[in-house]
Amino acid sequence: MGGRAAPLGRCLRPCYIPAMRLVTWNINSIRLRFELLRDVAETLRPDVLCLQETKVVDALFPAEACRDLGFPHLAFHGMKGYNGVAILSKLPIEDTATPGWCDRTDCRHLVARIAGAEVHCLYVPAGGDVPNVDANPKFAHKLDFLKQVTAWYAGTYKPGDRVILAGDLNIAPLETDVWSHKQLLGVVSHTPVEVEALAGLRDSLGWVDAVRHFVPPGERLYTWWSYRSPDWSVNDRGRRLDHVWVTPALAGGLRSALVARECRSWPQPSDHVPVLVDIDL
């Protein structure tokens, strides 16, 4: 740990040795925060680690350093300065795919077959600041992206397939997923049109929200806090933007979940924290 990281909180259910421990994290630059990645790997001990916003071209991805962390199997799909997704695995990766959306190659979706399941690492566009499709092309792109992804899942898979969707979906769907439902109704990430679009994606396969499987909907839960907040932990103006979903075929194997809130206090943190789910496959 090198003295950098405070101890993490308890699991949301008693500890269990799973067939797969999956962690998803928007790292906000893997090269800038590689030491924090080391801390996450050592503290949470995932079998599979899904990363978003790696912000590095494939030729410069720190593959050997990731293998040294104990992840011999890697898949990554990146670009210079923006976006980028990666899957680090202790288990063999049998096959990969990199779906593209909205006629762009912007490195937001990576699929890997691991242990008989498909793991999808997804980074949904943030959508800019103005929730208006006419005034803000980024917001229009976000909604188009969700529409295309939703149709693809509905047409490609069935609820009986073994699929895990993990990543920064950039939408906080529940009132308790934001610090103030009333004040954020007009703020990108919690607007009704985005929440409706995310519900459509969820309904495409009857996805099960793995974290809310353990945390009641009435309980507040966040995974992101703005860098603009002078004291994020006191103000606690967070949003739950990072999610892990499973198809109904895997829902019975869910064993525990954890939002690693303490990581937000580490030096030079990402504005997102890791989300962990234990799944018995």
CA-to-CA distance for 178 and 185, rounded, in angstroms?
Answer: 10
Give percent of the chain above pLDDT 90: 91
For 16-38, write each residue's pLDDT tens digit: 445 899 999 999 999 999 999 99
Long-range contacts of residues 9-14, Cβ cutoff 8 Å, at least 24 apart: 9/258, 9/260, 9/261, 9/262, 10/258, 11/256, 11/257, 11/258, 11/278, 12/211, 12/214, 12/215, 12/256, 12/257, 12/258, 13/214, 13/255, 13/256, 13/257, 14/256
For 81-98, write each residue's pLDDT tens digit: 999 999 999 999 999 999
For 140-199, write each residue's pLDDT tens digit: 999 999 999 999 999 999 999 999 999 999 999 999 999 999 999 999 999 999 999 999
Top-level class of domain 20-279: alpha beta
What pLDDT score does 229 carry? 81
A 10 A CB-CB count for 94 gives 12
pTM for the structure as a whole: 0.93
